[in-house]
Structure 1
Amino acid sequence: MALPNIQRFNEYTGAILASLYENFPMRKALVAQDFIEGGADAAMVSDDFLGERPSDEAEFFMATARWLVDAGYILTNDAAFSYIGNATLTPKALEALNAVPDSLTGKASIGERMVGAVKAGATQVLRTTAQEAIAAGFKALMA
């Protein structure tokens, strides 16, 4: 059984990569409120000592996005604590998302299935395609 954090990571990874794939080659900002359930209302919480601060879910989203940058899936020159600006897919990520697994020859690419899963709200498909994309990216690195 997968850990809840891994499931959340895979869902956000799928949503982020699908968004960048759908917009490729245009760059876009990755902001937590655009991806987390509840939007802007869920992205910030009040803190008696700090005032307004990012919610735990917004911080988790940003940790996922920063990992994708660090792992070489997202190219950006504008990363901050609460957003990643000017984001686009790296060549490795584009190659991974354009891949069609052998078992699905003649079917949609990983990226196309990921975009469809986001639009359909199919979180299990999104998790699975995110795992496939990360695996395809690592295979591309090894080749």
Structure 2
Amino acid sequence: MAAKNIDEFNEITGKVFATLYEAFPIPTLLRPSDFGIDESHEGDWGADGRFIEGPPRSHEEVLFSQTVQWLEQSGYLTVSGAPPGRLVGPDRTFFGHARLTAKGLEVMNAIPPSLTKREPIGQQLAEATKSGGKELLRSITTEALGIGVQLAVKAAGLAP
């Protein structure tokens, strides 16, 4: 299951990066259905927007939510509150006003030497998303996250 989760994480991450790169600097709503993931709306919801009970959300919907939250916590993007009437907190699946951070944009504009195309990663992700090439999307996403780690190490003064 772990390798499958990583593959799905890389696909979602690549699609999110491509969406935000193409929209930059305009904030964008991120929701599962925009990425081909069915959204569950059934169940009881508290006044604070938290899910109380009902059919469980799908694995894909949970993975989408956790991926976007990880990208935010890792400094690749910013999001603000969910749209009115939508779930907030750790179980949220809608992310309002999402936009790449300076770090995210720097990664998307990078041209890594290991890739044969001499285009920014963001442009390559956008093209891979449109063409439906999942393996290419995963590969480029892995490269992008690696560049992000290199930037963080360099910024922390840990690079030689």
TM range, smaller chain? 0.7 to 0.9
Structure 2: segments with no counterpart, 5+ residues: 44-51, 83-87, 155-160
Tell me if structure 2 keeps the 8 A contact 1:36–1:58.
Answer: no
- In structure 2, what is the Cα distance between the partners aligned to 1:103 and 1:136? 11
Distance in 1, Cα, partners of 2:134 & 2:145: 16
Q: Greater strand share, 1 or 2?
A: 1
Deviations 1:85-111 (A, max 9, x none): 100001011101100012447711111
Distance 1:85 1:46, change over 3 A: closer
Q: State the partner residue of 1:120.
A: 131
The residue that corresponds to 1:88 in the other structure is 99
Q: Name the structure with the higher helix share.
A: 1
TM-aligned CA distance change 1:102 to 1:54, over 3 Å:
same
Match of 1:110 in 2: 121
- Give me the TM-score of the superposition, normalised by structure 2: 0.77
Shift of 1:142: 1.6
Question: CA-atom RMSD, angstroms?
Answer: 2.3
Distance 1:101 1:78 in 2: 34
Find the aligned partners of 1:125 and 1:138 in 2 and give their Cα distance: 20
Q: Percent identity?
A: 36
Structure exhibiting the larger radius of gyration computed from Cα positions: 2
Cα distance in 2 for partners of 1:112, 1:82 equals: 26
Distance 1:137 1:90 in 2: 12
